Amino acid sequence: MTKSSGMRLIRGREFLMGCDDAYADEAPAHRVTVGDFWIDESPVTNARFAQFIAATGYRTLAETAPDPRDYPGMPPEMAKPASAVFVRPARRTEPAHPSQWWQYVFGADWRHPRGPASGIGDLMEHPVVHVAYADAQAYARWAGKSLPTEAEWEFAARGGLDGAMYAWGNELAPQGRMLANYWQGEFPWQNTLADGYEGTSPVRTYPANGFGLYDMIGNVWEWTVDWYAASRPDTGTPCCGAAAHQAVTEAQSYDPASPNLRIGRKVVKGGSFLCAPNYCQRYRPAAKFPQPIDSPTSHLGFRCVIREPRAG
């Protein structure tokens, strides 16, 4: 089995990245050029991540107790292995209050996605979750791969449909067909399960996009290597062709709402099974979200790339 097994070769080119008609951090739409790269057909599964763990003995962040010295003011009783788990409220809850459905669950990790009493025996072909950025990076190094840039990820997600709203066109559910795993109903308390899944779904459940890639939209958010910024740095107007996507520094990615917490935030892409028409409409290639690098969750995974050498 070669490193590129289970991957698709994407021939890079110039494309229109971002969107002017949705969330502010997607604007302005701008032309970017990416090179050729291979990308995993689907998010990394529990089965594949288990192979990595068996081969290396790696311990994920969620399986490691946090050091209170890294989090001033942390109560001592919180210094135990844990991760964030979505727990659906039993009654109508305003989506402006995420603390009412996110719970910091001791013992939640990639092997126990809903907490210590849960397991992955019947989820081996589902995306692995509860992986922090460092965990995804460690897997990528073991596999001889890398994590994608935001631009590479978005170009791949579009599947050749430059400028389309979704990975398959401009209609979310054409003729009522569910083409991705996202929330149906009134988030966060009511889920009609029109797509058949309360949480993650097996990879390749839904049709591939035009590049033969699965789950680029919905199911789980996916890490990229780019630091997040609320607005794109001004690259100026290139004199010839499209600009390269300008990098953001770690310091620029810090959350301005928490000035005392200097935790870098990476761009995650694709949305998840929790995105809904009434909340977080980020099941689109252009969409992004800032994820602290030390914050694994029950709806966050990743996939990898291998970049082709540039000619010349």
Instruction: Inform me whether the pLDDT recorded for 126 exceeds 70.
Output: yes
Is residue 167 in some structural domain?
Answer: yes
Q: What is the dihedral of CA 128, 133, 134, 137, to 10 degrees?
A: 70
- pLDDT (tens digit, 9 = 90+) per residue, 177-213? 999 999 999 999 999 999 999 999 999 999 999 999 9
CATH of the domain at 227: 3.90.1580.10
Is residue 79 in some structural domain?
Answer: no
Is residue 174 in some structural domain?
Answer: yes
Domain that holds residue 241: 1-59+130-312
Helices and strands in the chain, H and E counts: 3, 11
| Closest among 266, 188, 251, 191 to 221, alpha carbons compared | 266
Cis previous bond, 43, omega within 30: no
Tell me the average pLDDT across 217-234.
Answer: 87
The pLDDT score that the predictor gives to residue 94 is 86
CB atoms within 10 A of CB 115: 17
The pLDDT score that the predictor gives to residue 311 is 66
| Closest among 196, 46, 229, 198 to 126, alpha carbons compared | 46
Determine the 3-state secondary structure of 169 from DSSP: strand
Which helix (H) or strand (E) segment is 105 a member of?
A: strand 102-106
The pLDDT score that the predictor gives to residue 1 is 65
- pLDDT (tens digit, 9 = 90+) per residue, 70-115? 888 889 899 999 999 999 999 999 888 899 999 999 999 999 999 9
Q: Could you tell me if 22 and 286 are in contact, meaning their C-beta atoms sit under 8 angstroms apart?
A: yes
- Euclidean distance between CA atoms 42 and 203, whole angstroms: 6
- pLDDT (tens digit, 9 = 90+) per residue, 29-85? 999 999 999 999 999 999 999 999 999 999 999 999 999 888 888 898 999 999 999
The pLDDT score that the predictor gives to residue 234 is 46
Is residue 67 in some structural domain?
Answer: no
Tokens 């003995």 locate to: 57
Q: How far is CA 29 from CA 10, 20, 24, 231, 300, in A?
A: 21, 6, 11, 11, 26
The pLDDT score that the predictor gives to residue 69 is 86
Q: Could you tell me if 284 and 217 are in contact, meaning their C-beta atoms sit under 8 angstroms apart?
A: yes
Is residue 100 in some structural domain?
Answer: no
- Euclidean distance between CA atoms 47 and 34, whole angstroms: 31
Is residue 43 in some structural domain?
Answer: yes
Domain tally, the chain: 1
- pLDDT (tens digit, 9 = 90+) per residue, 226-263? 999 987 544 433 333 344 456 799 999 999 988 888 89
Sheet holding 265-269, edge to edge: 289-292, 265-269, 221-227, 300-301
Is residue 66 in some structural domain?
Answer: no
The pLDDT score that the predictor gives to residue 241 is 39
Is residue 69 in some structural domain?
Answer: no
Q: How far is CA 129 from CA 34, 83, 214, 232, 277, in A?
A: 28, 10, 17, 28, 23
- pLDDT (tens digit, 9 = 90+) per residue, 151-170? 999 999 999 999 999 999 99
Q: How far is CA 102 from CA 154, 188, 274, in A?
A: 27, 10, 11
Rounded to two decimals, the pTM is 0.94
